[in-house]
Amino acid sequence: FEAQTMKGWDWHTDLIQMAISMVKTEGEKERIRTDLEQIKPNGKDWDWEYRTAQKLKLQLIRQTEDEDAAIRFMESNPDNPDFRKGLIEQAIRIKDYDKAEQLANEGVIKDEDRFPGLANDWRDYLLQIYQATHNTEKTISLARYFFTQGCGRHQPRKFYYMLLKSIIPQTQWKKYVNQLIADINRNSHKDINYSYTAEIYIWEEEWDKLFKLLQKYPNFYRIEEAEKYLADKHAEELATMYRKLIIDYLPNNMGRDHYQMVCKYIRRIAKLGYKPMALELTEQLKTQYRNRRALLDELSRCFLIN
């Protein structure tokens, strides 16, 4: 390590890790500490080498001292995300929620602009803290944030939705959901945030609302996903949607991959119970696109594939 024989390779720091595990004397400890002190911050937003040196120092302290000394070292270097996480988790373990909250809030402020994913790590700790301390207002605020921002890094969106549902009084829930949907769509870059809105209707088993949403914003994938919820009551309408999409799709899409996809959805029309519609559409396309050999080939084999 001192000769930098392995510098630029993982072994450069692996050798220090092995040396730390074998430390027996104060002199050996001081030699390693001095070596690690040679690694200085480079001033960049993310300094891997310096962060690694800090973690090795922590390993050295734990190997040669006690956990209190390790905590003091982490507390003196809270800008290291691994140290901040360790301090927060340790504070949560001993139920020092004030300290945990302070560290997490400081992390959000520090990392919000440059490292939004890391800022959400701190928010996730805050959510744990607010749940543990029964802070209903802040739990609702953060659960709503994670759900509307689509931050699935820690939990799936449904987790945050169900957390909200478990807290909001039942008499207020329907109004809250309607406002949640309105806010999601108002802040969407598109006219509608279909996936979030559809998820809510599915979780609430609002099948009529899901069908109306699908009618307004249909595409192949959305119809296919909705079949399991809507086919019992709206099979004909779903088949008709597929038919219209196929007719609108083919004029501007050529190539065997596109034709195979079209055949896939023709077969889905048939599986919905409307095989005559699927056969009629197949004949219509054969006539309309009689000069597209690859399409004719795929259509001729359409019902030979299960």
| Residue located via tokens 């696109």 | 289
| 138 vs 9: which has the higher pLDDT | 138
Q: What is the pLDDT of residue 116?
A: 92
What's the pLDDT band for 295 if we cut at 50, 70, 90? very high
d(CA 185, CA 199): 13
Note the pTM of the prediction, 2 decimals. Answer: 0.82
Q: What is the pLDDT of residue 305?
A: 56
d(CA 227, CA 233): 10
Q: What is the pLDDT of residue 3?
A: 84
Q: What is the pLDDT of residue 39?
A: 85
**45-67, pLDDT tens digit by residue?**
677 888 889 999 999 999 999 99
User: What single-letter DSSP state applies at residue 152?
Assistant: T
User: What single-letter DSSP state applies at residue 218?
Assistant: -
Q: What is the mean pLDDT of the chain?
A: 92
Segment 284-294 mean pLDDT: 95
Which of 265, 254, 264, 266 lies closest to 292, judged by CA? 254
Q: What is the dihedral of CA 261, 266, 270, 271, to 10 degrees?
A: 20
Helices (H) and strands (E) in the chain, counts: 16, 0
Which of 269, 265, 252 lies closest to 298, judged by CA? 265
Cβ(218)–Cβ(237) under 8 Å?
no
Which of 218, 273, 274, 214 lies closest to 246, judged by CA? 218
**For residue 187, is pLDDT > 80?**
no
Residue type, position 10, single letter: D
Segment 6-27 mean pLDDT: 86
d(CA 128, CA 139): 8
Cβ(247)–Cβ(235) under 8 Å?
no
**For residue 42, is pLDDT > 80?**
no
**82-104, pLDDT tens digit by residue?**
999 999 999 999 999 999 999 99
